[in-house]
Every structure is written in C-alpha cells, then in structure tokens.
Structure 1
Amino acid sequence: MKQFHKILFLASVAFLAGNAISCTSNFDDINTNTTKLDAPDKSSMANAFAAAQYYSVAAGWQIYQSLFADLQGQYFANVAQNFPSDRNVMVGNWLNLAWNGFYGTAIPPLLVTLENSKPGAPNENAAIYAVASIWKVYMYLPRTDYWGPMPYSQVGNGKNSVEYDSQEFIYKDFLKTLASSVAALGAFRTTKVFGNHDQIYAGD
C-alpha cells in the first residue's frame, strides 16, 4: 500500500511539474508557422494570378470543353464507342473531374490574389484587384453556362458547406464586376499590371 501511495505521489508531482513548465506566454510565437507566407507581396500575387490563369484553362479543359461542349456543338465528331458524350450523354465521372479541377486548382490562387489586393487588404492594389476580378468573370462564365447554379459568392468562406448562387445572380454580379473593374483600370492605362506574369497579355 505504501508503494502505491509513493507511486501516486510521484506521478502527481510529475504531472504538476509538467503542467507548470508547459505553460508559456509565448503561445502565439511557438505556434506560428514561420514557413507560411502571411501576406503575399505584389510578386507573390502575380505568381498566384498566373496560376489562376493557367489552371482555369487547364483544369479539366479537355474534359469539360472538348468532351462535352465541343462534341455537342459538333466542332468535333467521335467514332469511339466508349465516349458517350458524343451522343449527348452527361458522363458523371467526367463532370466531377472538371468540377474538382476548377474548384481545387483554379480558384485557390485567384482567391489569394483577390483577397490580398482588395480594398483594405494588407497589399491593397486597385489595378491587381481589377484585373483579377475581370479574370474571375472569365473563369466563371463558361462554367455557369455549363452547370447553371454553382458556388460563387461564398467560395473561400472557410465553412464546411458553400451555398450555390443562381445563374441570374452570377450574371448580374458579372456585369457589376466588369463595370467597376473597367472603371478602376482607367487610372492605370499605361501600367503593365502583372508584367510577364500575365500568361495571356504579358501585362498589356
């Protein structure tokens, strides 16, 4: 019995000592990831925008454009029996690949650019925000025509579920976004916003 009390006492002392030395006032410093980029600078946002440009065209492009829209619009024909989209069949697995490619690879770098250049952001930049907003419209336009209602205004909100916006809402927001972005770019007529990071116009 004495042995048990001695072990219990030593375990309690060890537990209390461990708790005493594990507490720190530097909790935030210790738990801050020093390898993570806190607020991207202009160059980092330009890289993110280049990735958004690339992935918005590359993300499932063959699947959602060539295997569906182009076949159904009869830009292409197919004689392979294992390609049912040539007969206006919506192949669910192919649609999922296109959807996941868009939201998984194209949208995240765009959100980095928009979130860090918007008014009041750490690196607020009206020109970058305007160009990225126009590109957002370019990215979503064929997708909402293709899928109809889709996550749009709440994408990137950090929640477990994201509401779908109606196609009408998305189109109306396109018009507002384009009007405000074009107006904002009026002050930057001679500026190459992203320079060589712009994969299409090289900043022009």
Structure 2
Amino acid sequence: MIERYSLTATPEKISERFSIDIPELFKPRYNACPTQLMPVITSASPQGISTFYWGTSPEWAKNKSLSEKIINTPVEYIAEKPAIKRAMMKTRCIIPADGFYAWKKAGKKTFIPYRFICTDQEIFSFAGLWEEYEDTDGNEFHTFTIVTTRANTMVASIYDRMPVILNKKEESVWLNKESTEEDLAFVLNAYAGERMNLYSVSPRISDVKADVPSLIIPAPAADQFGNLTLFD
C-alpha cells in the first residue's frame, strides 16, 4: 500500500499549478497519513479545492488496522469490480502532491523509507476516487482513495506498487465529466521511471505524528529503528 505522501509547496505554487484558490488555513504536509484531512479537487467541482479524509474519518478508523482502511484502490479492481467502475465514472478526484513514500524490505524486520519525486514537474497529482458517508449522528463527511498501479522500473527497486501520477493533460481528462471509460482507462498508467527520482529519508517518516520539513531531506539509509544499513 501507499501509506504516505507529501504536499510541501507554497499555496501560491499550488494555486498556480492547478488554477484554484487555496484556503488561508492550508499548511504544508510533509507526512500525509491515512485518516487525515487532505486537499483534493473533484470532477464535481474542478474549479475549487475540497478537504476530504484519506481512507476514512478518524472516528470510523478506531479499532481498525491500516489494511482495513480503504486508502488505495488498485487500478486492476476497476475492471474486476462493478462498484469501483461505477465510482470511477461518477466520483473522480485528483490529489495534489509533490512526493510519496515507500519502504524497501531489507531484512526480516528491516524496512528502509524512500521518497519519490517527479523530475519533470515539481507539483503533480494522483488519480483518486471519493465517497460520501453519513455518521451515526447524521453528519456527512467525505473520503478519498488513491488509485495505484504496478510500479515502474524506478519504484520497483523499492516497492511493487505506486500511485497513478497525472500530468496536466491527464488531469483534464480525469476531471472531465464527459470523459468516457476508454478515455479514463488511457490515463491510468505508471508514470515513466526516467521522469522520477528517489532517495532515502529519515525513519521518523514512519511516525504518524511527525510532520516537519526535515522529513523530506535526504538521509542515510536507515531502518525503522534508526540503525544505518548497507542498502541505498
């Protein structure tokens, strides 16, 4: 699963990239985690930004393991599961980002975190799907999932899955209400590995409470306990 990503650009840069207004309360996120409120742009309202919970709300997430939370939607499920295909046709969104994280298994209990960025666009987006729910008190809330695909050659050296990364042209197709199933399927591909880069980061990225600028700075390869390793 893709469990972490970042959106650290300034509001001005995000506004310019997506041609939208950014709320005053926006703040950079160096370690976006499931259940957190994050900005998305929906096909229902592409002219503005919304804040939805990633996967589920914190209240609903109680007593659930991460694997039980719907944080990723494998692109393969779209063809296999009619409900997900219907969601793709009706409730699409893009998730602004400037990096994502994955952990390389380097031993039985050793995992090393890496950050992935695009070298041809500083800010990009993930393809996503969103849903609306109602809690026991009748309050509505919205969630989103990140569509994932098989890893490209760059990401595959660390992990076997990656988010579907979109460029501006692909975003227009994904957010267009008139796009056909064939149009949408065409953009759900792995981003080219030669247009990406990666580097190891601090194992503090594993801490859901950590959200500081130092998390996106390259760091020597170390496992989740902070022990330096021979892997890079």
TM range (shorter): under 0.3
Higher strand proportion, which one? 2
TM-score by length of 2: 0.21
Higher helix proportion, which one? 1
